[in-house]
Amino acid sequence: MNHINFKDELRLIEQVPYGFLIMNRNGNIFYVNKFACEVLGYERFEIIEKGAENLFNSLKKYKFNDIVYRTLDLNEKLSFDDVLENCNATKIPVEITAGKFLVISEPMILIMFQDIINKVQVERIVSQRQKEIEDLNKSLEERIQIEIKKNMEKDQLLIQQSKMAEMGDMMSKIAHQWRQPLNTLSLAVQDIEEAFYHNELDEKYMKNFIDISMENIKFMSKTIDDFRNFFKLSKTKEIFKLKDAIEDILKIITAQLKDHKISIYLYGENYDVVGYPNEFKQVILNLANNAKDAILEKKIENGLIEIRINNLSEKFKEVSVQDNGGGIPKNIIDKIFEPYFTTKDGIKGTGIGLYMSKTIIEENMDGSLLVENYNNGARFRISIPCIQI
């Protein structure tokens, strides 16, 4: 049995609140982290002895042989919701991501899963609430049309209930979108092989790898928590440095962009603005990822993303994110901020990112988010207040 010698990397995985397993195409499990053991209720040696085929026998969407074929032979990345059985034969709803993982040139399967029992419960509540609202709408439709002026208060309550139901559905969709930092982490892990062959695995390299990986993991965990609390009224705005917030994002995405031969530059002063820094970072991350996708889709050579900070006035500062990806077709440019509108196929896009970005900037931070075609590319312009409004 081969052994994985990347102790520092595995120690990072031990701290992540996701189950991680590494196995070969024969179903031999080489590594399982502590979180996976806790969720499934097994000791590490029990999971290793059980083997992948038995461990994933409860899956409905893909059997283990299907996962092997699609990840190792077709080089696909899988992402789906399913169930796993724990040591007590209790079925646990999980979100699973699987892909190819190279260990000293040997192709392995890396499987990550997260317990989503709370998400399933929320979706059930949302579904029940939506049905209640639909029934209420049917029974009150005629009365509302006749007595709309007398029942304004009830009408407003109905609207609020609808908004809450939509919010629950939106949150379940957002959960599928926050995987981008994992791609960066995956690239960093795979880069170790290159470093190994070029004798670059020194103390400086390892420290840099650990710092980048931990920053990526902490950012991913924190942004998920931030969006879970997205609609809570208890959050308060704060003053933060605009350029510092953007540079935090660049530290995470620059390596991946460089891998795709895309350059990204940041210009401007480090102004103080008022808002929610973590949600603003998520907006910048989303716009940068959209720019990257546009450049790759159009197969643009020498891809370029420019982020500029401008001083609009004493009350507002502007951040523009511009690419050279060919721009947005005129027939859809007015629709791109609509919820669930997407031009991407399959699981690549849910149509939520730009809608949420506009909501964050305009409704939560009292700014504005606009888009225009400029110099053979798309330019998104964010206006942010620098004083409390």
Given 174, 197, 212, the domain boundary residue is 174
In a domain, residue 225? The reply is no
- Are 112 and 133 part of one and the same domain? no
pTM, two decimals, is 0.44
- Are 72 and 140 part of one and the same domain? no
In a domain, residue 213? The reply is no
Distance CA 336, CA 379 (A): 13
Specify the pLDDT at position 233: 45
- Are 12 and 150 part of one and the same domain? no
Specify the pLDDT at position 258: 85
Is the distance from CB of 9 to CB of 20 less than 8 angstroms? no
- Are 240 and 381 part of one and the same domain? yes
Residues 208-235: tens digit of each pLDDT:
888 878 887 777 676 666 555 444 444 5
- Are 262 and 374 part of one and the same domain? yes
Other C-beta atoms lying within 10 Å of the C-beta of residue 34: 14
Handedness of CA 151, 157, 163, 166 (dihedral sign): negative
In a domain, residue 124? The reply is yes
- Are 131 and 59 part of one and the same domain? no
pLDDT band at 144 (very low <50, low <70, confident <90, very high): low
Query: Into how many domains does the chain fold?
Result: 3
3-state secondary structure the chain: CCCCCCHHHHHHHHCCCCEEEEECCCCCEEEECHHHHHHHCCCHHHHHHHCHHHHCCCCCCCCHHHHHHHHHHCCCCEEEEEEEECCCCCEEEEEEEEEEEEECCEEEEEEEEEECHHHHHHHHHHHHHHHHHHHHHHHHHHHHHHCCCCCHHHHHHHHHHHHHHHHHHHHHHHCCCCCHHHHHHHHHHHHHHHHHHCCCCCHHHHHHHHHHHHHHHHHHHHHHHHHHCCCCCCCCCEEEEHHHHHHHHHHHHHHHHHHCCEEEEEECCCCEEEECHHHHHHHHHHHHHHHHHHHHHCCCCCEEEEEEEEECCCCEEEEEEEECCCCCCCCCCCCCCCCCCCCCCHHHCCCCHHHHHHHHHHHHCCCEEEEEECCCCEEEEEEEECCCC
pLDDT band at 13 (very low <50, low <70, confident <90, very high): confident
In CATH, what number is assigned to the domain containing residue 61? Answer: 3.30.450.20
- Are 247 and 381 part of one and the same domain? yes
Of 144 and 385, the structure prediction assigns the larger pLDDT to 385
79 pLDDT above the threshold of 60:
yes
In a domain, residue 179? The reply is no
- Are 130 and 104 part of one and the same domain? no
- Are 239 and 381 part of one and the same domain? yes
Specify the pLDDT at position 3: 42
In a domain, residue 127? The reply is yes
Of 243 and 349, the structure prediction assigns the larger pLDDT to 243
Specify the pLDDT at position 371: 94
Query: Structural domain of residue 128, as residue ranges?
Result: 119-174
In a domain, residue 86? The reply is yes
Is the distance from CB of 368 to CB of 382 less than 8 angstroms? yes
In CATH, what number is assigned to the domain containing residue 334? Answer: 3.30.565.10
